[in-house]
Amino acid sequence: MNDQQAPEPFEPVDEDWQTALAVVAHPDDMEYGGAAAVARWTAQGKKVVYVMVTSGEAGIDSMSPEDCGPLREAEQIASAAVVGVDTVEFLGHPDGVLEYGLPLRRDIARAVRRHRPDIVITSNFRETYGGVFLNQADHIAVGRATLDAVRDAANRWVFRELVAEGYEPWNGVRAVWAAGSPESRHAVDTTKHFDKGVASLAEHKAYLAGLGGAMADPQEFLEGFGRGAGSRLGTRFAVPFEVFPLR
Ligand SMILES: [Zn+2]
- In 3D space, the residue among 245, 242, 244 whose CA is nearest the CA of residue 124 turns out to be 242
Give me ligand 1 centre to Cα 93, in Å. 13
Question: What number of residues does the chain have?
Answer: 247
- pLDDT beyond 90 at 38: yes
CA of 181 to the centre of ligand 1 (A): 14
pLDDT higher than threshold 90 for residue 213: no
- Contact of 130 with 182, CB cutoff 8 Å: yes
Cβ neighbours around 209 below 10 Å, total = 10
pLDDT at 3: 55
Evaluate the CA torsion angle 15, 225, 217, 53 in order and state its sign.
positive
Give yes or no for residue 183 having a pLDDT over 90. yes
Q: Name the phi and psi angles at 219, rounded to 5.
A: -60, -50
Tell me the average pLDDT of the chain. 95
**Spacing, Cα 177 to ligand 1 middle (Å):** 16
User: Could you write out the DSSP letters of every residue in 70-91?
Assistant: HHHHHHHHHHHHHTT---EEE-
**Is 2's pLDDT higher than 60?**
no
d(CA 39, CA 162): 32
Going from the Cα of 139 to the center of ligand 1, the distance in angstroms, rounded, reads 6
* Ligand 1 centroid to residue 167 C-alpha, Å: 28
pLDDT tens-digit series, residues 50-75: 999 999 999 999 999 999 999 999 99
How many whole angstroms from 160 Cα to the centroid of ligand 1? Answer: 30
Residue 1: pLDDT band (50, 70, 90) is very low
Instruction: Assign 7 a pLDDT band (cuts: 50, 70, 90).
Output: confident
CA of 79 to the centre of ligand 1 (A): 15
Q: How far, in Å, is the centroid of ligand 1 from the Cα of 187?
A: 21
Q: Separation of 166 CA from ligand 1 center, angstroms?
A: 31
For the stretch 121-174, pLDDT in tens is: 999 999 999 888 999 999 999 999 999 999 999 999 999 999 999 999 999 999
Q: Give residue-wise pLDDT tens across range 75-114.
A: 999 999 999 999 999 999 999 999 999 999 999 999 999 9
Q: What percent of the chain has pLDDT over 70?
A: 98
**For residue 30, how far is its CA from the centre of ligand 1 (angstroms)?**
9
Percentage of residues in the chain having pLDDT higher than 90: 91
Q: Are 46 and 58 in contact, with CB atoms under 8 Å apart?
A: no
| All residues at 6 or more sequence positions from 127 whose CB lies less than 8 Å from its CB, including other chains | 134, 135, 140
